[in-house]
Amino acid sequence: MSRDFEWAEFVFLLGAMRWTIALSLIAFVGGGVGGLLIALARTSRNALLRGVAAAFIGVMQGTPVLMQLFLAYYGLAVLTGVRLDPWPAVTLAFTLYAAAYLGEIWRGAIDAIPRQQWEAAAALPLSPAAQLRHVILPQAFRIAIPPTVGFLVQLIKGTSVASIIGFVELTRAGQLMVNVTFQPMIVYPLVAVLYFVMCWPMSLLALRLERKIDAALGIRRHS
Amino acid sequence: MTLRLSVGAFVAGLAVASLLAFARTAGPRPLRAAVIAYVEFIRNTPFLVQLFIIYFSLPAIGIRFDAVIAALIGMTINFSGYATEILRAGIEAVPRSQIEAGHSLGFTRLQMYRHIVVFPALRTVYPALVSQFILLMLGSSIVSAISVEELTGIINTLQSTTFRAFEFYFVATAVYLAMALVTRWMLHAFYMMLFVRGRPLDKAWAR
């Protein structure tokens, strides 16, 4: 005897959305911290730091997030000797993933600041840390916002992959509901709509911010 | 299998995307709106969920695919959404004056598209398309979730018989990385061949 897809099932999906959002936020915050370090390493004068950061970005962007997830899941199991529940593996994998992408986005933003700004700050004379903090980062921050919001959309969609190792977020909840209601034609499109509701406003926001910053920088785009 | 799926979806997706990008830039208003809705929906929902809809939902209304075909369709649809947006950007980056110049030379519509719009647009968007192709290739690992035996699927089978999960996933990750690097390098070489070498004018422009 199967259940129908009714209000309770819909509420279950909404509840699972929490975990999608929680996972995205944790990865975004953790990845933000890591990404900032990577972006700084990538733009530093130290060749070793630059190389390590570049290699990290290359590996993370050149391999599927699913593989990173499997490696974190089974890797942590090997390290600790016990099969963990998916939470730590999933958060670790997505945090590193976010750190690599955000690091690359923010490196681009830092590089976009004209050299003269560094020179002017050095002439003031600000210490290298103060140059970065008071002159470069505030400007880079503005440029970086639209692609960062865009990446958040990618991250939210990406967390659906966590369902494959059994982490119960929106997609996994959808699978569970299909298993009890046998109504994939209702459940999966609904899951897609729920993702769309989360992602689309942010995509629009990213686009608007991008236009605004382009206008501020005097870049004319064909619309 | 991973490569075949990726290349297949790339070619098919690019064909679909060309039509959509054309409709998006030159079609009547309702058609444009439809293309925008399609692109936005594809780009704002996860690939895995799109795959589930094709493989698990459609059979409920009597449309049934083999897993490999479902994967190919899913990848094609997903890629076409992103590629349409990339191609549109390329087409719109062609300066209006170029098209006016084409008019004044008495080009037909077809000639215009061929010489003035498509070729330069392709050159503009080529790097973006390459990146998208690599994302497609990496994303293809997800189709193992609907039991397709591509690289990830095979590794899953192997690790569940040997219990050497970490080692196998490590190797698979290295293989993906190698594929991504080699593909990027080859496509870059192709770009140099196609758009740079033998076109002295471009070199002059670059300077």
pLDDT 10s digits, A171-191? 999 989 888 888 888 899 999
**High-pLDDT (> 90) share of chain A, %:** 56
- Cα radius of gyration rounded to whole Å, chain A: 21
- Are the C-beta atoms of residues A154 and A101 closer than 8 Å to each other? yes
The average confidence (pLDDT) of chain A is: 89
CA distance A88 to B37: 37
SS3 of A87-133: HHHHHHHHHHHHHHHHHHHHHHHHHCCCHHHHHHHHHCCCCHHHHHH
In sign, the C-alpha dihedral spanning B60, B63, B66, B68 is: negative
Average pLDDT value for residue range A86-106: 93
Q: What is the CATH number of the domain that holds B112?
A: 1.10.3720.10
Q: In this complex, how many residue pairs, one in chain A and one in chain B, have their CB atoms less than 8 Å apart?
A: 117
CA distance A89 to A110: 31
CA distance B126 to B142: 25
CA distance B205 to B20: 31
Note the pLDDT of residue B199: 53
Average pLDDT value for residue range A113-124: 90
Note the pLDDT of residue A219: 63
Give the number of C-alpha atoms closer than 13 A to the C-alpha of residue B135, restricted to the C-beta side: 16
- Are the C-beta atoms of residues B131 and A43 closer than 8 Å to each other? no
CA distance A169 to B34: 30
**CA distances from residue A65 to A110, A128, B104, B120 in whole angstroms, order as listed:** 26, 36, 51, 34
Residue B60 sits at the chain A interface (C-beta within 8 Å): yes
CA distance A129 to A40: 11
Note the pLDDT of residue A192: 94
CA distance B52 to B49: 5
Residues sharing a CB contact under 8 Å with residue B9, sequence separation 6 or more, in sequence order:
B72, B75, B76, B78, B79, B136, B140
Residue A106 reports pLDDT greater than 70: yes
Q: Where are the domains of chain A?
A: 7-214
Q: Find the length of chain B.
A: 207
Instruction: Write the ipTM.
Output: 0.84
- Contact residues on chain B for A153, CB-CB shorter than 8 A: 44
Amino acid at the residue B165: A
- Give me the number of domains chain B comprises: 1
What is the span of the domain harbouring residue B10?
A: 2-206
Closest residue in chain B to residue A175, using alpha carbons only: B52
Note the pLDDT of residue B206: 47
Q: How confident is the model at residue A59 (pLDDT cuts 50, 70, 90)?
A: very high
Residue B92 sits at the chain A interface (C-beta within 8 Å): yes
Measure in Å the smallest separation between the Cα of A157 and chain B Cα atoms. Answer: 5
pLDDT string in tens for chain B (207-residue length): 888 899 999 999 999 999 999 888 888 899 999 999 999 999 999 999 999 999 998 888 888 888 899 999 999 999 999 999 999 988 888 888 888 888 888 888 888 887 788 888 888 889 899 999 999 999 899 898 888 888 888 888 888 887 777 888 888 899 999 999 999 999 988 888 877 655 545 544 444
Note the pLDDT of residue B197: 55
The DSSP output letter for A15 is H
Residue A220 reports pLDDT greater than 80: no
Closest residue in chain A to residue B151, using alpha carbons only: A67
Fold of the domain spanning A7-214 = MetI-like fold (1.10.3720)
Residue B118 sits at the chain A interface (C-beta within 8 Å): no
Note the pLDDT of residue B207: 41
- Are the C-beta atoms of residues A189 and B53 closer than 8 Å to each other? yes
Q: How confident is the model at residue A20 (pLDDT cuts 50, 70, 90)?
A: very high
- Are the C-beta atoms of residues A5 and A179 closer than 8 Å to each other? no
Measure in Å the smallest separation between the Cα of B63 and chain A Cα atoms. Answer: 11
Helix then strand then coil, % of chain B, to nearest 5: 85, 0, 15
Q: Test B181 with A62 for CB contact under 8 angstroms.
A: yes
Q: How confident is the model at residue A223 (pLDDT cuts 50, 70, 90)?
A: very low
